[in-house]
Amino acid sequence: MATVTTAPLEALEESWYEPPGLISWFTTVDHKRIGMKYLVTALVFFVFGGIESLIIRAQLAGPNLHVVNPEAYNQLFSMHGVTMMFLFATPVLSGFGNFFVPLMIGARDMAFPRLNAFGYWVFLAAGIFLYSAFLIGHAPDAGWFNYTPLSDAKFAPGINIDFYALGLVFVAISTTVGAINFIVTILKMRAPGMSINRIPIFVWGELAMSFAVVFALPPLTVACVLLELQRRFGFHFFDAGSGGDPLLWQHLFWIFGHPEVYIIVLPALGVVSAIIPTFVRRRMVGYTWIVVAEMATALIGFGVWTHHMFTTGLPQIALSFVSLVSFMITIPSGVQIFAWVATLVAGRPVLKTPMLFVIGFILVFVLGGLSGVMFAAIPFDAQVHDTYFVVAHFHYVMVGAVIFPLFGALYYWLPKMTGKMMDERWGKVSFWTIFVGFNLAFFPMHIAGILGQPRRTYTYPGGLGWAVPNLISSVGSFLLAAGILITFVNWAWSLCRGAAAPNDPWGGDTLEWATSSPPPEYNFETVPTVRSLEPVWDQPELRDGAQPPEKGGRILLGGHLTLSTSMLDGRPRAVVAMPHATAWPLVATVGLLFGFWGVVFGAYLLAGAGALLFAASMVGWYWPKGETQEG
Amino acid sequence: MRTKEDPLVPTIPTGVPGERLRSVASGPDAFGWWGMWGLIATESLLFGSLLASYFYLRFRAGAGAWPPAGIHKPELILPLVMSAILWSSSIPVHIADQGIRRGRQAVARFGLLAGFLLGATFLGIQALVEYPKILKEFHPSTNAYGSMFFTITGFHGFHVVVGLLISLWAQMRAWQGAFDEHRHVTIQNFAMYWHFVDVVWVGVLFTVYLSPHL
Amino acid sequence: MLRGTPARRLCAPVRAQRWTAALVIGMALACLATACGDPASTPASMLNTAGPGANRVEHLWWLLFGISTAVFLFVAALIAAAIVRRRRPSAGDPSTDPGAEEVPRWGERFILVGGVVVPVLILSATFVLTLHEMSALAKPMRTTRLSVRVVGHLWWWEARYPNGAVTANEIHIPVGEPVRVELTTADVIHSFWVPELQTKIDQIPGHTNELWLQADKQGRYRGQCSQFCGLQHAHMIFFVVADPPALFQAWESGQAAPAAAPMSPAAAGGLAVFTSNTCAGCHAIRGTSAAATVGPDLTHVAGRATIASGTIDNTPANLAHWITDPQEVKPGAIMPPTQLSPTDLQDLVAYLQSLP
């Protein structure tokens, strides 16, 4: 074992060296580079999903238009939903999570770096798999919730739905391993002194999200596997004729589907709680309230799935119960909103771009929350269910609670990630364009819904009062797209021309601001000891990521090392060696991708070859290299 | 046989003056232990969803229609024998897990081997005796009852297969002498997984074999 | 790091706040205008109610809308106040040392009252009201005397009356009387919804659902499938027609009667075309040899205002177009195109138009 050398920094540099060049992006296990890959890939899928929605809006801009045919329309809106839920909203916040959770908790990597790389590759491969369906013209076309029997082989004989069922199982692998990785990282790798009451709220959000993933994804996976068995091999689960029941699909899907909303929203709420204290220059009011509220949301989210099924004819007693739970779940959200507002009132808001996005988010999220409460009033839900009112509601919640915090996070954190500042003026222009475009695009949908327009119709007749709100929506959606584009251009511009970002451009409170921008491979020269919830505000010695040993900074020389600490109070327990860069996760994923392609096309030989490649890469992955104890 | 009797836990200096921390971890200090619990949690929900689907369809079918007309209630003797074999396989695996914590290589190696053989016996009976017998009466595409029966038991069987593969890996490493009283996360994790597969069979046995008699 | 002259910092946001305020108020007004707008231009609005079922929900909506608006304005006002307040000078410059000031004491009480106590009170009241409305909507005020069975098909509606009348896409009911509707499906999940009269309910294979309809005003009420059901989900439209009781009685017995024999040579020719071509393979015309049940019953097709489930008006030209090229009118529809000579087509249209 090596001891502290005279040139510790050089030793650290050497242990954690990441070679430059393209190849290393394929083999890296560095959480920061993986986080960046997650972010960029998810944003690419966001653009795909966005283009799909713009085509949809063009088709619906007026009555009886013929931009696309009904089949293409059905594929577009199905893939829009699948893309935005599974390939954008969930992974994009995993991108920030991957980059910032280890930094915020003062660790040097995630708990399972190779699994982290694997999770990313599987996400990318699942995206490629789902989009390969478009290339052959058979993308899923039964909506993102894919109700049986419309998705059964009898009514959907093409392989469109096979792409859906297998693709969702595929992407669930990625999400699940990512979630387990977050849980272990957050529970076991926090810096010494970061007891459970000093965990940043963003990290709590990632933790709550991860627990929800672990418990919510299995029902979806089971539903998809059962559907594929029924479609492929004539099993019976969802067909009424042979003892099955179409409602079984709906139950399984929504047991996943409702928590999925919180899976997406919780980390985004965490982003809001990360940005607010920095820009109001005050500690967050009601830290404990917010944390408990997040956990309660994740928990109660499992009790309301049938509120997507209020019109299926369930017994009144079940409806009353779910109505009650649906009312209850708004309370944790209310708590968080009032905690944010209290902090705003107590502090002195500085309206930089990230803060604008946060304020925009609160307004939009309150509106989306209020229309959500309305659905708990079952008779009203039974009127607006499956209309554009619902479309308006969930875009207010999902777009409102993802896009606004996400773009706030881009302006807030990209300087840390890339080392370059974004342009503030264009940031504000982008915000106002997005804010106005968003409201123009989605507010009129409430009205269209109240006027009786059902969702998922590829066209509509004139004379029903639907044309005007639809036209406004279409115009707004293009404005929204323009606002988003401005930020992307701003990002690209910052990479070439942006001012160099200092360590702490905003005066933030959490540990990521204690290291350089971008952070070195090893994150911190010494693994810091934390004595406060806002360590960077309260511990001046932390600045520059090099807490001296006498203040508790641990340099950990002699390899790829990080600390394992106790779960509740963050006492150091052991020094853990982390694995180095490897291509096996990528190879394993390639095996899986060919496996899934083989199954979807019925080329079982190909599927077998893919499975073999996967098995071989597992052997390569775990082949002892005498450097880690992960085995 | 190589046994390592090092009384000192390997440690490493952290850079804080005078502080040394363990450089190997097992149990709750090892990340792998937590990762395995995560896997078990999500797998439990997979089985839970399947079993819940079974009961959902059963109660939709109504009294007397489960199993549907023409299919007998499952026979119990063979499944109970299989259960006994599967559950007993947890004992040698547990002994191996405990043994390696005290550095006993032989206990670990032969414990794993015994567990493997019992698990393989269970799987062999399921694939070669139980399934062929059932298939004479109904198959997965007969009706929802048949689909559920084969999906749930097959899904469990798949987990046994994966467990056996992990066991092979752990045995290979054990015979190489890779484990000792400090380094044994692989055996520990395999044991956790194997016990899970055995415990979940309680639910499978109750649901698929016993509940139709209730 | 938080530099920039105060004036520059404030100017843009304040202007933008006005924009936002204008946007919010504009949208609220648009909402109100919509609701109070001309009923004739919004014939599927759930706020132009014409029956006691939808009417209850309309009242519920206005209550929810009022509460929501108040809550939204309250939160928005708090945020605006927080932003405006920050101009006030304060002792010392807190932006340099954000850790110096502790979390205010009133903070948690504020969260408790604003985030828990008040919401619990409002939500509890709303929940009680919900339960009350649910039980009120579960059953009509009077027992139903008429029960109509409605079957959803890809992509049209079949309606069967107790007296043997079978029709499609147009459901007649007597004014002022609750009617029980029993809902099933022949294929995938559909959802039966007439916004002006009643809430919706799904039609699910293996399940039978029901609801009751009551129209208090004579008229035609637009309904549409509201559960995505494939290619032509957009064109699965129907109408509920509320007639005065006497008129309804006449309609119902008329629909139960077999088709009238052709009165003109053209119509007679049309009947022959109908029975000798593929038409009779799917459609029934009671009183003739055509008795298939794949497509809509055409015994009294001329009495309906639309064809292809509300897709086009029932005119001779549209009917001819629909028969020869249904895939252009309604892409994906189950009905195949039929090649007929011009005279055959004319005869067929003439015959179908003679079936009131």
pLDDT band at C274; cut points 50, 70, 90: very high
Report the side by side order of strands in the sheet with C170-174.
C170-174, C237-243, C219-224
Smallest Cα distance from C235 to chain A, Å: 8
Question: What pLDDT shows up at residue B119?
Answer: 96
Residues of chain B found within 8 Å of residue A547, distances taken between Cβ atoms = none
Residue-wise pLDDT for C310-340, tens only, equals 999 999 999 999 999 999 999 999 999 999 9
- Smallest Cα distance from B33 to chain A, Å: 9
Question: Prior bond to C94 cis, omega within 30?
Answer: no
Nearest CA to A185 out of A135, A139, A120, A116 is that of A116
pLDDT tens by residue, A304-316:
888 899 999 998 8
Q: Is the peptide bond before B67 cis (omega within 30 degrees of 0)?
A: yes
Q: Is the ipTM of this complex over 0.90?
A: yes
To probe the interface with C, which of A451, A460, A479 has the most C CB atoms within 10 Å? A451
Q: A218 and B15: CB-CB below 8 Å?
A: no
Q: Cβ atoms within 10 A of the Cβ of B50, count?
A: 24
> How many residues does the structure list for chain A?
631
pLDDT of residue A190: 95
Residue of chain A whose alpha carbon sits nearest to that of C19: A436
Closest CA to A126 of A88, A87, A95: A87
Q: What's the whole-model pTM score?
A: 0.94
Least Cα separation, residue A49 to chain B (angstroms): 29
DSSP A395-450: HHHHHHHHHHHHHHHHHHHHHHHHSBPPPHHHHHHHHHHHHHHHHHHHHHHHHHHH
| Residue numbers of A between 465 and 484 with CB closer than 8 Å to C | 465
pLDDT(C272) > 50: yes
Per-residue pLDDT at A14: 84
What does each C-alpha distance from A167 to A84, A153, A576 come to in angstroms? 14, 17, 35
Determine the Cα–Cα distance for residues C214 and C226; give it in Å rounded to an integer. Answer: 20
User: Would the pLDDT of C284 be above 70?
Assistant: yes
Half-sphere exposure of A390 (CA within 13 A, CB side): 19
**How confident is the model at residue A544, as a pLDDT?**
76
What does each of the 214 residues of chain B score in pLDDT, given as a tens digit?
A: 333 444 467 888 888 888 888 888 888 888 999 999 999 999 999 999 999 999 999 999 887 888 998 899 999 999 999 999 999 999 999 999 999 999 899 999 999 999 999 999 999 999 999 999 999 999 999 999 999 999 999 999 999 999 999 999 999 999 988 888 888 889 999 999 999 999 999 999 999 999 999 8
* Dist CA A113 CA A107 (whole Å): 12
Q: Are C292 and C283 in contact (CB under 8 A)?
A: yes
Strands in A416-481 per DSSP E: none
pLDDT number for residue A9: 82
Q: What is the pLDDT of residue A444?
A: 94
Element housing C303 (H / E): none
Residues of chain A with pLDDT under 50: 1-6, 627-631
Residue A500: CB partners within 8 Å, gap ≥ 6?
A: A419, A420, A421
pLDDT at C7 over 60: no
Q: What is the pLDDT of residue A3?
A: 42
- Give the pair of three-digit tokens for residue A264: 């997406």
Q: What is the pLDDT of residue B22?
A: 87
Phi/psi class of residue A34: alpha, beta or left (left: φ > 0; alpha: ψ in -120 to 50)? alpha
pLDDT at position A21, please? 83
Cis peptide bond N-terminal to C155, omega within 30: yes
What b-and-e string marks burial along B134-159, b requiring 16 or more CB atoms within 10 Å of the CB?
beeebbbebbbbbbbbbbbbebbbeb
Q: Are A428 and A411 in contact (CB under 8 A)?
A: no
- C148: its two tokens: 């109509």
- CA angle at residue A308 from A302 to A309, to 5 degrees? 110
Specify whether the CB–CB gap between C273 and C185 falls below 8 A.
no
Show the CA angle centred on residue A551, arms to residues A546 and A553, nearest 5°.
45
Amino acid letter, A465 = G
Amino acid making up residue A592:
L
What residues 286-325 of chain A have any CB closer than 8 A to a CB of chain C? 286, 289, 293, 311-313, 316, 319-320, 323-324
Q: Specify the pLDDT at position A393.
A: 96
Residues of A with CB below 8 A from B19's CB? 554
A564-578: per-residue pLDDT in tens? 999 999 999 999 888
Q: Are the beta carbons of C275 and C292 closer than 8 angstroms?
A: no
Question: Is the per-residue pLDDT at C10 higher than 80?
Answer: no
Give the pLDDT confidence score for residue A556 in this predicted structure.
87
* Mean pLDDT, residues C294-321: 94
Residue of A69, A370, A421, A438 to mutate, interface with C, max C Cβ within 10 Å: A370
Please give the Cα distance from A458 to A324 (Å, whole number).
35
Cis status of the peptide bond prior to A140, with omega within 30 of 0: no
SS3 content of chain C, % helix, strand, coil (to 5): 45, 20, 35
- Phi, psi for residue C224 in degrees, rounded to 5: -155, 145
Quote the CA–CA distance of A611 and A622 in Å, as a whole number: 17
Q: Is A255 on the interface with B (CB under 8 A)?
A: yes
Give one word for A35, left, alpha or beta, with left for phi > 0 and alpha for psi -120 to 50. alpha
Closest C-alpha among B70, B202, B47 to residue B146: B70
C-alpha–C-alpha distance, residues C166 and C183, integer Å: 15
Residue C11 has a pLDDT of: 42
CA dist., res. A274 & res. B15, Å (int): 31
Contact A430, A487 (CB under 8 A): yes
Enter the tokens of residue B187: 């055996």
Residue B97 CA to residue B99 CA, distance in Å, equals 5
How many other C-beta atoms are found inside a 10 Å radius of the C-beta of residue B52? 18
The pair of structure tokens assigned to B89 is: 């396989």
pLDDT of residue C4: 39
Burial environment of residue A321 by CB neighbours within 10 A (0 to 12, 13 to 18, 19 or more): middle
For residue C170, list its beta bridge partners: C239
Collect all residues of chain C within an 8 Å Cβ-Cβ radius of residue A327: 123-124, 126-127
- Nearest residue in B to A233, CA atom: B141
Q: What is the DSSP letter of A461?
A: -
Mean pLDDT for C60-84 is 93
pLDDT at B2 (0 to 100): 34
C-alpha span between C314 and C320 (Å, rounded): 10
Q: CB–CB of A470/A413 below 8 Å?
A: no
The partner residue sitting opposite B25, judged by closest CB among A244, A624, A629, is: A629
| DSSP letter, residue A545 | G
SS3 content of chain A, % helix, strand, coil (to 5): 70, 5, 30
Q: What residues in B contact A237, CB-CB < 8 Å?
A: 53, 57, 144, 147-148
Note the pLDDT tens digit of each residue in C140-168. Answer: 888 899 999 999 999 999 999 999 999 99
Using the Cβ of A246 and the Cβ atoms of chain B, whether some distance falls under 8 Å is answered with no
The secondary structure of residue B134, as a DSSP letter, is H
pLDDT digits (tens, 9 = 90+) for C23-48: 666 766 666 665 555 666 778 899 99
pLDDT per residue over C197-232, tens digit each? 999 999 999 999 999 999 999 999 999 999 999 999
Whether A290 and A277 have beta carbons less than 8 Å apart is answered as no
